[in-house]
Amino acid sequence: MPQITLLPHAEHCPEGAVFEASEGETIIAAAMRNGIDIEHACEMSCACTTCHVVVQEGFDSLEPSDELEDDMLDKAWGLEMRSRLSCQAVVGSEDLVVEIPRYTINQVSEGH
């Protein structure tokens, strides 16, 4: 089983986390199953950007993003070349190192 290393994030996992994921599982599903609540305002339907993550290692092992995800990512705060929506990023066979950005577009628009 591939491992996901979640880098420390002040709100979601201050110490960081390492957990196993099943191939074919989304990053957010694996995180939530392990007690890490990544924000997901649209209930994981690819209709917002609140679950935006940056895949620092293992990016090429993920199933490719589709046009809908790419369109949504264009709206994400802090977009990077290795950005994905964690509700759409399906884990492959390689380990991943994932960063949750400091803010989501919801937090920026709400002044947090």
Q: Indicate which CATH number applies to the domain containing 38.
A: 3.10.20.30
Banded pLDDT at 112 (limits 50, 70, 90) = very low
Phi-psi region of 67 (alpha: psi -120 to 50; beta: other; left: phi over 0): alpha
Q: How many domains does the chain have?
A: 1
pTM as predicted:
0.90
Task: Please state the three-class secondary structure of 18-73 as a single string.
Answer: EEECCCCCEHHHHHHHCCCCCCCCCCCCCCCCCCEEEEEECHHHCCCCCHHHHHHH
Q: What pLDDT does residue 77 have?
A: 87
Full residue range of the structural domain in which residue 24 is found: 3-109
